[in-house]
Amino acid sequence: MRRTTVMEVADDATLVGQVQSGRVAAFAQLVRRYQDRVYNTCRRVCGNDEEACDLTQETFFKAFRSIGSYRQKSAFYTWLFRIAVNLALTHRQKHRLRVVSQLTDDDPLSIPVAGSQAVIGGEARAVSVETRECVSAALASIDADHRAVLVLRDIEGCDYEQIAGILDIPKGTVKSRVHRARVALRDALERRGITNDERDMAT
Query: What span, in angstroms and rounded, lies between the C-alpha atoms of 20 and 22?
Result: 5
pLDDT attached to residue 94: 72
Quick one: which of 135, 138, 148, 31 has its CA closest to 89?
148
CATH class of 101-203: mainly alpha
77 in helix, strand or coil? helix
Query: What span, in angstroms and rounded, lies between the C-alpha atoms of 80 and 19?
Result: 15
At 143-169, the pLDDT tens digits run 888 888 988 887 788 999 999 999 989
Task: Give domain limits for the chain.
Answer: 11-97, 101-203
pLDDT attached to residue 21: 94
C-alpha gyration radius of the chain: 19
* Average predicted confidence (pLDDT) for the chain: 77
CATH architecture of 11-97: Orthogonal Bundle (1.10)
Residue 37 above 80 pLDDT? Answer: yes
The helix/strand count (H/E) of the chain reads as 10, 0
Amino acid letter for position 48: N
Whether 64 and 76 have beta carbons less than 8 Å apart is answered as: no
At 79-98, the pLDDT tens digits run 999 999 999 988 877 765 34
Query: What span, in angstroms and rounded, lies between the C-alpha atoms of 104 and 134?
Result: 14
pTM of the model: 0.64
Whether 88 and 147 have beta carbons less than 8 Å apart is answered as: no
